[in-house]
Amino acid sequence: MSEKSAVLEMIYRNMYIAVLVILAVMLFVCLIRAVRGPRVADRIVAVNMMGTMVMVMIAVLSLLLKEGFLVDICLIYAMVSFLAVVVISMVYMGVYAERAQRRRQKYPQGHNREADRAGMQGTEPEKGESANGNS
């Protein structure tokens, strides 16, 4: 009986380690996507995927090491990655809209000089106040 449970233990252990290795390889592939992704949204999607895989890895580790508290860390990780996506996308949208408006003030209708002159007389965008948002 004890021999059989020892066999089970060994199978569990090897399976957990195999799953961890596979997930690590997939994590690396995700990282390639995050580096190569042409747009910002691509990178955030890839990082989000990496977060999900890391969550599974932490859960597997908690069973491998028989430490239940690691699942708490997993929960916190899920929370923080969600928060990161929310905050980054909101900030990026705000910064992009602000830049677009400034560009529209500078070059209305595709670099037309006559139109530029009309635009130059208008209000200059305030630089001091916008420094907060970009940082």
Partner 1 sequence: MEILEWIRLIVGGALLLCGLIIFLIELYGVFHLKYVLNRMHAAAMGDTLGISFSLVGLMVFSGLNFTTLKMMLIVIFLWFASPVSSHLLARLEVVTNENLENHCQNYAELAELEKELNREKEDEQTGGQEA
Partner 2 sequence: MSRLKPQDEYEKTGAFHFFRWLSGSKDPYLGEVELRPQKRVETPVDTILDRMDEQQMIREKVYDVSHNRKLAVFHRVYVVAAILFCIALVGILLYTVSWLPRTGNPSNPDNNIVSQRYIERGLQETGAVNIVSGMILTYRAFDTFGETNVLFIATCCVMILLMLDEAILKKLDAGSGDRHFEPKNDQILQGTAFVLCPIIFIFGIYIILNGHISPGGGFSGGAILGAGLILYASAFGFGKTRRFFDEHIYKIAKITALCMYGIIGSYFYITGANGIENHIPLGQPGHILSGGIILPIDICVGLEVACTMYAFYALFRRGGL
Asked if residue 79 binds partner 1 (CB under 8 A), the reply is: yes
The binder of partner 2 chosen from 101, 103, 104, 122 (CB under 8 A): 101
Q: Which stretch binds partner 2 (CB under 8 A): 11-19, 26-34, 52-60, 125-133?
A: 125-133
Q: Is there a contact between 44 and 60 (Cβ–Cβ < 8 Å)?
A: no
Say which residue the tokens 């209000």 belong to.
123
The first and second tokens of residue 16, run together, are 């957990």
Q: Which residues contact residue 46 at a Cβ distance below 8 angstroms, ignoring those fewer than 6 apart?
A: 30, 31, 33, 34, 37
Nearer to partner 1, 40 or 118 (CB): 40
Asked if residue 112 binds partner 2 (CB under 8 A), the reply is: no
- Write down the least CB distance from residue 51 to partner 2, Å: 14
